Chain A
Amino acid sequence: MMDDLRNLYQEVIFDHNRNPRNYGALENPNRTAQGYNPLCGDQLKLYMVLDDDGRIADVSFEGNGCAISTASASIMTSIIKGKTAEEAQIYFDSFHGMVTGEGDGDDSLEDFDKLRVLGGVAEYPSRVKCATLAWHTVRAAIDESEEPVTTE
C-alpha cells in the first residue's frame, strides 16, 4: 500500500531518524543558532565550532522533529563537518535546488549522493521546509560571524 511513499521515506531516512548522527550539544561551541518551523512547531538547535580559517571543525544539533527533518539534520552535519563555510553554502544551494525541484543536485560534490536520499521531498511541497530547516539554521549560525549585531 505504501510503496509509492518509499521514494520519500527511504530506509536510510528511518535509520538516521532512529540514530541521528552528531546529536546533542557541543561542549564549547562558538556558534549556535535556533531553527524554527512555524508550520509544525518544530525547533532545532544547532551547535558549531567554526575555526579561524572559516572551517566547520565540529557541528551538532538537538531538537524534536519529523523523520525528514531529523534525517536531514543528521546527514547534513555529517557532510559539512570539516568543510569551510563557503563549501557548506555550495552544498546548501545544490541541496535546496534538488528538494525544491528547481535543480538536479550536483554529484561532482563529494558525498552528494548521501543527500540524494532526501530528493523525494521535491514531490511534497509541504515537506520542503522539514528538509531545509537544518540547513537554514547552519546558515544562521555562520552568518552570525558576519553580522555581529546578532547576539545569540
Chain B
Amino acid sequence: MAIASNKLNADFDIDSIRGQFPALDQKVHGHSLVYLDSGASAQKPNVVIEAVDHYYRNDHSNVHRGVHTLSERATVKYDASRVSIQKFVNAASDREIIYTSGTTEALNLVAQSWGRANIKEGDDLLVSEMEHHSNIVPWQMLAAEKSATVRKIPMDQDGVLDMQAFKKLLEGKPRVVAITHVANALGTVNPLAEIVRLAHDAGAIVVADGAQSTPHMSVDVQALDVDFYAFSGHKIYGPTGIGVLYGKESLLDAMPPWQGGGDMIKSVTFDGTIYNDLPFKFEAGTPNIADAIGMGVAADYLLDIGLEAVAAHEHSVLSYALSRAAERSEMTVFGNAPDKAGILSFALEGVHPHDIGTMLDHQGVAVRTGHHCAQPVMQFFGVPATTRASLGIYNNRQDIDRLFDGIDEVMKMFRR
C-alpha cells in the first residue's frame, strides 16, 4: 500500500512503478525481496524485457547488411535506439553516440583511441580519487605506454572533490581530466559543468563516467559541455552487455578507429582501407543488436517517467535513509557530500561488511558489500570494504525501514 510520503507528485506513482519490475515480486529466504543493489545493476521493467523478447521472436537478423525484411526491421529498430539514447543525454547528433559493451569499454575506447593519438611523454592525466577502477586503470595503462603521469585529484573527508587542489593541478596543464559524475562508492555528485569549464580553460578535455549518474538524474551533455561521457545500459534499467560512449563529433572524427573489422569500414583493399563514418567507425563487428534495442527502450522509459521526478523521488528516499543512519551511533556513513545521489555506503562498528551482507540477505534485503571497484576510496577511509545500499526508482521508504530492521538484527547477533 502506498503511503502519503511516497507520493511526491501525481506523475510518480511508486506502486505502479514497482509493479512494472517483475523481479521485485519474489521472496528471498522467506521474505519479500528488498532490492538495494541497483548501483551494481538495476532490475528490468516489463517494457525492456518484452522489447528484447519481441525482437528475438520476430525481428532478429543482422543489421546494416541485408536487403531482406528482417534485416531492415532489425536495422530500423537498432538505429532508432541510438536516437533514443541521443535524446536521453541530449547529444547534438546520433553520430556522437557510440555503442560499447558498457562504461568500462567506453572509457577504454577513449584512453586507447583518443589517448594514444594525443598523449605524449611527460603529459599529465588528472584522475579523481573517487573513481571506479574503470576510470583509473585505462589511464594508468596509457600513462605507462606513453611515459605520461597520472595525478590524483584529492577529495575531503565528506567525499567532496577538493576543487582548490583541482585548480592547482590544472596549472600543470594536464591533457585530460577523468572524473566520475556520481561516485559509485560514495554517491557524491560532482559539479561536472564547473569541472569542464575549468578544465577547458586549462586546455584539458574531460572524460566523465556517467554510470551512476544516468540512472538518477537528467543529463545534458551539451549543457555540461563535456567531451566524453560513458554509461551503461544495465544501470539505466536496460540489458547487460551494452553501453554508450558519447563524444563530441569533432573529437570522434579526429580519432583513429579502435578495433578493426566489419561495419567499421567503407571499403577494404589490400592497398588500404577507408573507414566508415561515425558512429560506425568505432563499432567493428556485428553489434549487440537486441540489447541496444532494449537499452533504447529503457532510456525512453526513464524519459517518459521524467528524470526530474526520478531524482526527486530518490532524493526523498535517500534523505530518509540518511536521517535513519544519523540516529545510529554504531553506524558510520561514507560520503557526506551535500549533493549526493542514490547511494548509502556505511560501516557498522564491530561488524564486517561481508557478515552484514549475508545476514541482510537472510532477511530478504539485497545490498552490495566489498570495495565496489573503488579501492582508492577504501584506502582513503582506511577500510577494506563497506556495505552499500543503492537506490533505484522502485525503492521506497518501507525498503529503507526493512534495511534498518535488518541492521538491528545484525547488531543483535553480534552483541549477543
Tally A-B pairs: CB < 8 A: 63
In chain B between 300 and 328, which residues have their CB closer than 8 angstroms to a CB of chain A? none
Given A14-B416, A67-B352, A68-B354, decide whether A42 and B385 contact each other with a Cβ distance below 8 A.
Answer: yes
- Taking CB atoms, residues of chain B closer than 8 Å to A43 are 384
Name the interface size band of chain B: 20 to 34
A40:B362 contact, CB within 8 angstroms: no
User: A41, A70, A130 — which one has the most chain B CB atoms within 10 A of its CB?
Assistant: A41
- Taking CB atoms, residues of chain A closer than 8 Å to B75 are none
A40:B358 contact, CB within 8 angstroms: no
Partner of A40, one of B370, B413, B414: B370
Q: What's the Cα separation between A8 and B414 when bound, in Å?
A: 13
B359:A5 contact, CB within 8 angstroms: yes
Q: What's the Cα separation between A42 and B363 when bound, in Å?
A: 24
B409:A2 contact, CB within 8 angstroms: yes
Given A40-B371, A41-B370, A67-B352, decide whether A127 and B358 contact each other with a Cβ distance below 8 A.
Answer: yes
Q: Is B353 an interface residue (CB 8 A)?
A: yes
- B366 shortest CB reach to chain A, Å: 12
- Taking CB atoms, residues of chain A closer than 8 Å to B384 are 40-43, 64
B352:A66 contact, CB within 8 angstroms: yes
Q: Is B103 an interface residue (CB 8 A)?
A: no
A4:B354 contact, CB within 8 angstroms: no
Q: What's the Cα separation between A29 and B371 when bound, in Å?
A: 31
Q: Is A149 an interface residue (CB 8 A)?
A: no
Q: What's the Cα separation between A127 and B378 when bound, in Å?
A: 21
Q: Is B369 an interface residue (CB 8 A)?
A: yes
0/1 interface trace, chain A 62-100, chain B, CB 8 Å (1 if under):
001111111000000000000000000000000000000
- B335 shortest CB reach to chain A, Å: 17
B413:A41 contact, CB within 8 angstroms: no
- B218 shortest CB reach to chain A, Å: 34
15 contacting pairs across A/B (C-beta < 8 A): A1-B363, A1-B409, A5-B362, A14-B414, A40-B369, A40-B370, A40-B371, A40-B385, A42-B352, A42-B385, A43-B384, A66-B353, A67-B352, A67-B355, A69-B354
